């Protein structure tokens, strides 16, 4: 990469690429569309981004970095146990509404584009989503250790169901748009947490 | 449409278009790629499919028709109540593995492409997914009426959670590919059904 971190143009390109990818998907994110949005010539953009594939990876890296800052890091500052697990869920639900992704979650947009297109972008997406499932499972293990969740709970099962409900929520919200979607997702998560909790 | 049902070329075009869309998404489904796969000239294909937009709608119609035949209709032949609800879930999970969609569920592939692209294809996708959520809610209502599910169960809540778990399952399966994904999804559905069931 020709870029040094902290370079203002670099940050502007990544910000606008993330915003554009959220609207058109990773497949639709072209160097020419990005050049236009950034206000650079195509050759000017080429000095910063070497290929469409490189651009896709850069956008995913930018999204992963923001997701870590906005969802994972704040949750780690919450008390160990159920509060931290809840913070991951609520942070994730807010993430899909972030103003820097006007077309919605870029990971969601990337999944259908990349799920059967092998390469560095798919690898990066897969590793990020594995990390996310692992973060959920780890938070569940901590909640078991703290005595908040049942000792016989399978933390990977809870992580699976949380991940599935979250992505499913996103499909329901974006596609069907029933005004009760958010309330129903919250109720689903409450039921899930209730089933995980140590009986009082 | 220039086509009469039962036309062999018509059926061959739809079959190959569905297969291709499952691999490349609805966004990537072009008339030229389809012409090549069908073995027609582009102008030959034009006599059957008037535009890319028309093609997208035709592919969705084909998928909806097959989903109805393979998932909904067989479930309606199952006994009213929990057996029918279960048949919808198991039919749905099998659907994503159908050999006529080598790249996986075409609805899944279409969601990220169409979720913020208004037009007839998006309208058709949205109405199909609304129908599916409604079919799940109706099956839940029948199971309540049969006494299999609790009288105070909210059938729309159960439909929401079923839909979310199913789509989330698909993301986990396609993207992360953990060998335990299927077992965990089955466990999640069992827990969901257990919570819906009338206590014995």
Q: What is the DSSP string of B148-172?
A: SB-TT--HHHHHHHHHHHHHHHHHI
* Domain CATH number, residue A176: 1.10.357.10
**In the predicted structure, residue B198 carries a pLDDT above the cut 70:** yes
**Under an 8 A CB cutoff, do A166 and B168 touch?**
yes
CB B33 within 8 Å of CB B52: no
ipTM of the complex: 0.90
pTM higher than the cut 0.90 = yes
Residue A71 in domain: yes
Tally the domains of chain B: 1
User: Is A35 within a domain?
Assistant: no
Of B112, B129, B169, the CB nearest to A176: B129
pLDDT reported for residue B4: 57
Beta carbon pairs, A and B, within 8 Å? 123
Q: Tell me if A167 is assigned to some domain.
A: yes
Whether residue A122 lies inside any domain: the answer is yes
pLDDT at B108 over 80: yes
Q: What is the pLDDT of residue B41?
A: 92
Interface test with A, best of B175, B183, B191 (most A CBs within 10 A): B175
B2 within some domain? no
Q: Give the closest-approach CA distance of B7 to chain A in angstroms.
A: 32
Binary contact (B156, A129; C-beta < 8 A): no
SS3 of A151, please?
coil
Is residue A18 a part of any domain in this protein?
Answer: no
Q: What is the pLDDT of residues B21-39, one digit of tens each?
A: 998 888 889 999 999 999 9
Q: Contact A26/A56 with Cβ under 8 angstroms? A: yes
Q: Which residues contact B147 (CB under 8 A, 6 or more apart)?
A: B81, B198
Q: Is B3 inside a domain boundary?
A: no
| Domain contains B1 | no
The single-letter DSSP state of residue A175 is I
A contact set with B (CB within 8 A): 23, 25, 27-28, 103-104, 108-113, 115-116, 125-126, 129-130, 133, 156-157, 160-161, 163-169, 171-172, 174-176, 180-181, 184-185, 187-188, 191, 195
- In chain A, residues with a C-beta closer than 8 Å to the C-beta of B121 are none
Q: Which of A146-150, B60-64, B172-176 bottoms out in mean pLDDT, i.e. has the lowest?
A: B172-176
DSSP reduced 3-state for B149: strand
| Mean pLDDT, all residues of chain B | 93
Domain range enclosing B173: 8-196
In the block, residue with structure tokens 């590919």: B177
Q: What pLDDT is recorded for position A111?
A: 86
- pLDDT digits 0-9 by tens, B66-95: 999 999 999 999 999 999 999 999 999 999
Ranges of chain A with pLDDT below 50: 1, 5-6
Specify the pLDDT at position B113: 81
């Amino acid at each position: 990469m020709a870029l040094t971190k902290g370079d203002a143009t670099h940050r502007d390109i990544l910000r606008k690429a993330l915003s554009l990818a959220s609207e058109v998907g990773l497949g639709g994110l072209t160097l020419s569309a990005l050049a236009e949005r950034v206000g650079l010539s195509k050759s000017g953009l080429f000095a910063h981004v070497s290929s469409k594939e490189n651009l896709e990876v850069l956008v995913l890296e930018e999204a992963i970095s923001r997701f870590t800052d906005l969802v994972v890091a704040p949750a780690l500052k919450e008390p160990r146990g159920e509060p931290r697990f809840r913070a991951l869920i609520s942070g994730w639900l807010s993430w899909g509404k972030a103003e820097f992704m006007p077309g919605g979650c870029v990971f969601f947009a990337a999944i259908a584009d990349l799920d059967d297109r092998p390469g560095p972008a798919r690898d990066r997406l897969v590793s990020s989503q594995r990390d996310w499932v692992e973060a959920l499972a780890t938070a569940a293990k901590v909640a078991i250790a703290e005595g908040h969740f049942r000792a016989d709970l399978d933390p990977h099962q809870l992580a699976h169901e949380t991940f599935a409900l979250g992505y499913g929520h996103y499909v329901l919200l974006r596609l069907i748009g029933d005004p009760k979607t958010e309330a129903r997702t919250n109720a689903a998560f409450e039921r899930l947490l209730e089933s995980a909790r140590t009986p009082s």
